[in-house]
Structure 1
Amino acid sequence: MLRRLLADFPRPFRTLVVMVPVLLLFLLVLSPPSSQALPEADPAAVQAMLSRSTMALVPFAPVTGPATGGPVLTPRQHDDLTARVEQIIADGGGRVGIALQDLRTGATFSHGSREPFATASVVKLTILTMLLLRAREEGRELTETERAEASVMIRYSDNDVTNGLYERIGYNPGFVEGAETLGFTDTEPHPHGVWGGTLTTPADQMRLLRALYTDEGPLTADERAYVRDLMESVAPEQAWGVSVAAAEGDVVGLKNGWTPRESDSGRWMIHSVGYVAGPERVHLIAVMSDGHTDYGSGIAVVESVVAEVVSTLEHPPVDPPAGAPPGR
């Protein structure tokens, strides 16, 4: 019937009738489901993504800090470094996870960075960050009391004020909300609100450091500077850990955590999260560990791992020529 009706019309009209449905179907397939215009590509973001190290083992966001180029480990160098780190851990005992990023080059190294650890006092840095986010959500700045308590919490690791500030951020529900804002993927509060029993990973602590040190996170420049000022004035007896990577004149900001665990036969958790910045280096470092026989030996293992990784990233060994016999 349709063919007979079309036969009565001129050939150009019959062609148009056939082509219109085809064109409409083509447009429906190619059109986006929303009426909003598609976003244009960000050249800066694309360049940052292209400049990332191919050895990145932790899913960090693209580097927004300075990236002037520099040493990046080859696969063999990376494997050798991993073997040395594993030997340090085996010799010292316990369990260690580390995530490190050189902001000058974008180079990263990680080992056990997705392993969960109870936070101990390291979580106090997260609590302060979430307190700032909560205050901004409420349209205000921190009160003088909150600032005084935050200073004692970060610089001297006071537990009593931490209890109050944890409640101030909204207890567990507030913590979960803050973790989502900060982009954490493997951090969970303790089911009974014991902030030191929060589970996190070195990878998530690296996300926190990037939020505090670069401009890619939810914090303002003033908020970042405020937290870093506290991290850079930690009591001297608590300034171990990532500080082992610093040379004279470098700036160190950190927050450490340490405690024995009854559930682990009194073995110690030793954590250090922070940064080292100077003319020759800008490193973000998150190292977490547990299972140490005592406080001192735990610190020694943590610092040995940090020193080995930083030294190798800053001065990669030269690979032997392909086919060369093993050294003697």
Structure 2
Amino acid sequence: MRRTRLLIFALAAMVIVGGGALIGFGMKDDSGGGGGGLLPSSLTFGDDPKPTASPTPTGPSPEELAAAERAARARKLDAALKKYAASAPEFSVAVLDKKTGQQYSYRGKERYDTASIVKAQILACMLLQAQDAGRKPTSGEMSLAKPMIRLSDNNATTSLFQHLGGRSAVSRCNARIGLTRTVVNTAWGLTKTTVNDQLKLLSALVDKDGPLNAQSRRTAFTLMSTVDETQDWGIPSVAKAGETATVKNGWDTRTADGGLWAINTIGRVTSDDTDVSIAVLSHNNQSMPAGIKLVEKVAKLTRQYLKY
């Protein structure tokens, strides 16, 4: 029994000494003075709160970053087009990327003679009139619309233009489509338009929520994607392998312009990854080939810089 008590006393003494050593270790405070100090944080116990990291500041969202990148590309395209315009005939261009919602225009409100791109407006008017009557276009109407779009046949265009009701009828159709700066002329090729209005027209020809029903949209797409190879210039020049292009081109020369050429191209480039509408209008070109070269170069610049 005596040996047991001695053993207990010895163990108690060890605890007291050890505890004193531990307490003595913790008495040193940051001021260098003794007594009253706290244990180092590495030796604290219990439910003391643990330090937390400072919150990381929230940066721009992916959408904001993408919008900033698109804006930067547009500024670079502005600079490239201004540089080209310094030595080229006058032109305008507009692009609508339906995948991103970005719309770009350069001199978007300037009016130009349509020449034969007005034939796409006349086609839209024909399709709307047929819808209003609750019918498909007649075989007679389609026999005029096909050469009008695929071959840019002027006689077929004049016949269809008059059949629909001429200037007043096409003007009413334009209002329904939202072409606010397009002025129809009785001589249809002298109709005035802007690239911004032409984007609205191209959208009307394809938008599910637009004025044209599915059948009318299919008709427009079929005609504008199967133009004669002699008409296959302009917008199709920017299409890559695997993409589909629709197009309506216009060209005209007049004595009033000193024999210079108006060259225009409107259309769309589409694929699983691309859905872009493009309009390029120009005038005062020295020749038709020179004008085609201009509108294709401008269209290609939009793709180079906007990255669609």
Residues 1:226 and 2:222 aligned together: no
In structure 2, what is the equivalent of residue 138 of structure 1?
A: 133
Q: 2:147 aligns with which of 148, 152, 170?
A: 152
Q: 1:198 aligns with which of 186, 191, 201?
A: 191
Taking the TM superposition and a 5 Å limit, the aligned residue runs for 1:166-185 are 166-185=161-180
In structure 2, what is the equivalent of residue 240 of structure 1?
A: 233
Q: CA separation of 1:188/1:268 partners in 2, compared to 1, >3 Å: closer, same or farther?
A: same
Q: CA deviation at 1:139?
A: 3.0
Taking the TM superposition and a 5 Å limit, the aligned residue runs for 1:1-328 are 73=69, 75-91=71-87, 93-190=88-185, 193-314=186-307
SS at match of 2:144: helix
Q: CA separation of 1:144/1:96 partners in 2, compared to 1, >3 Å: closer, same or farther?
A: same
Q: Which runs of 5+ in 2 are unaligned?
A: 1-62
SS at match of 2:86: helix
Report if aligned partners of 1:71, 1:105 keep a CA contact under 8 Å in 2: no
Deviations, residues 236-259 of structure 1 (Å, cap 9, x unaligned): 111111112210121111100011
SS at match of 1:184: coil
Partner Cα separation in structure 2 for residue 136 and residue 280 of structure 1: 31
> In structure 1, what residue type is equivalent to 2:86?
A
Q: Which runs of 5+ in 1 are unaligned?
A: 1-52, 55-68, 316-328
Partner Cα separation in structure 2 for residue 157 and residue 308 of structure 1: 26
Deviations, residues 14-57 of structure 1 (Å, cap 9, x unaligned): xxxxxxxxxxxxxxxxxxxxxxxxxxxxxxxxxxxxxxx99xxx
Report if aligned partners of 1:212, 1:224 keep a CA contact under 8 Å in 2: yes
Report if aligned partners of 2:147, 2:156 keep a CA contact under 8 Å in 1: yes
SS at match of 1:165: helix
Q: Please, what TM-score do these two structures have when normalized by structure 2?
A: 0.76
- Higher mean C-alpha displacement, 209-218 vs 220-229: 209-218
Partner Cα separation in structure 2 for residue 299 and residue 73 of structure 1: 31
Q: CA deviation at 1:74?
A: 5.1
SS at match of 1:130: helix
Partner Cα separation in structure 2 for residue 89 and residue 224 of structure 1: 35
Q: Please, what TM-score do these two structures have when normalized by structure 1?
A: 0.71
Q: CA separation of 1:277/1:127 partners in 2, compared to 1, >3 Å: closer, same or farther?
A: same
Q: CA separation of 1:110/1:133 partners in 2, compared to 1, >3 Å: closer, same or farther?
A: same
Q: CA deviation at 1:87?
A: 1.8
Q: CA deviation at 1:90?
A: 2.5
Partner Cα separation in structure 1 for residue 302 and residue 68 of structure 2: 12
Partner Cα separation in structure 2 for residue 187 and residue 72 of structure 1: 32
SS at match of 1:299: helix
Q: CA separation of 1:138/1:262 partners in 2, compared to 1, >3 Å: closer, same or farther?
A: same
Task: Report the RMSD for the aligned CA atoms in angstroms.
Answer: 1.8
Aligned residues: 246
Identity of aligned residues (%): 33
In structure 1, what is the equivalent of residue 37 of structure 2?
A: none
> In structure 2, what residue type is equivalent to 1:79?
R
Partner Cα separation in structure 1 for residue 145 and residue 76 of structure 2: 41
Q: CA deviation at 1:75?
A: 4.5
Partner Cα separation in structure 2 for residue 106 and residue 261 of structure 1: 38
Q: CA deviation at 1:79?
A: 2.5
Q: CA separation of 1:72/1:100 partners in 2, compared to 1, >3 Å: closer, same or farther?
A: farther
Partner Cα separation in structure 1 for residue 133 and residue 234 of structure 2: 36
Report if aligned partners of 1:88, 1:304 keep a CA contact under 8 Å in 2: no
> In structure 1, what residue type is equivalent to 2:294?
V
Q: CA deviation at 1:102?
A: 1.2
